[in-house]
Chains A and B, each alone.
Chain A
Amino acid sequence: MRTFRPRLPTSIGSYFAFPLIATIGSVGALGALAWEAFKVGALSYGGGFVIIPLMQFDAVHTYHWMSNAQFLNAVALGQITPGPVVQTVAVVGYAAAGFGGALLAAFIAFTPSFLFVLFGGPHFDRIRASVGVQAFLTGAGPAAIGAIAGAAVPLTLALSHRWQVGVLAAAFVWLVLFRRNVVVALVAAGLIGVAGSFAGLPVGP
Chain B
Amino acid sequence: MSEAAPPESATLSSGGVSLATIARGWTRIGCIGFGGPPTHIVLLRRLCVTERSWISAAEFEDGIAATNLLPGPASTQLAIFCAWRLRGRLGGLLGGVCFIVPGLIVILALSSLFLASRPPHWAEGAAAGAGATVAAVALTAALGLVPASWGRMGSRWSQRTRWVLYAITGGALRQRSVLTWSWCSWRAAPLRLA
Contacts and interface: CB of A to CB of B under 8 A. Distances in A.
A191 interface: yes
Interface in A123-171: 124-125, 127-128, 131-153, 155-156, 159-161, 164-165, 167-168, 171
Interface string A107-128: 0011011101111111011011
Given A113-B76, A193-B125, A144 B33 contact: no
Interface stretch (A6-14, A22-30, A50-58): A50-58
Interface string B96-133: 10011011101110111011000001101111111111
B136 A175 contact: yes
A110 B44 CA distance: 19
Given A72-B131, A87-B100, A182-B140, A147 B126 contact: no
B170 interface: yes
B16 interface: no
A141 B164 CA distance: 11
B68 to A, nearest CB: 8
B180 A87 contact: no
Contacts of B72: 40-42, 44, 86, 109, 112-113, 116
Interface stretch (B17-25, B45-53, B184-192): B184-192
B172 interface: yes
B129 A194 contact: yes
Given A82-B31, A114-B93, A142 B131 contact: no
Range, interface on chain A? 35 or more
B132 A159 contact: yes
A128 B69 contact: yes
Contacts, number: 401
A102 interface: yes
Contact of A73 (B62, B114, B141): B114
B60 interface: no
Contacts of A110: 73, 76, 96, 100
Interface residues of B, number: 103
B12 interface: no
B146 interface: yes
A116 B106 contact: no
Given A83-B100, A83-B102, 16 more contacts: A72-B127, A73-B115, A84-B76, A113-B80, A117-B77, A128-B69, A131-B193, A138-B185, A138-B192, A143-B167, A147-B171, A159-B132, A171-B133, A185-B136, A193-B125, A201-B125
CB-CB nearest 8 A-B residue pairs: A193-B129, A83-B103, A197-B125, A150-B171, A146-B170, A139-B188, A72-B131, A143-B170
Interface of A: 39-50, 52-54, 57, 66, 69-70, 72-88, 90-91, 94-95, 99, 102, 106, 109-110, 112-114, 116-122, 124-125, 127-128, 131-153, 155-156, 159-161, 164-165, 167-168, 171-172, 174-176, 179, 181-183, 185-187, 189-198, 201, 203-204
Interface of B: 4, 6-7, 30-37, 40, 62-63, 65-67, 69-77, 80-81, 84-85, 89, 92-93, 96, 99-100, 102-104, 106-108, 110-112, 114-115, 121-122, 124-143, 145-146, 148-150, 152-153, 163-164, 166-175, 177-178, 180-189, 191-193
20 contacts: A39-B177, A40-B72, A47-B73, A53-B175, A72-B134, A83-B99, A84-B40, A84-B73, A84-B75, A85-B36, A86-B72, A91-B115, A94-B111, A102-B111, A139-B184, A146-B170, A150-B170, A151-B174, A182-B36, A203-B124
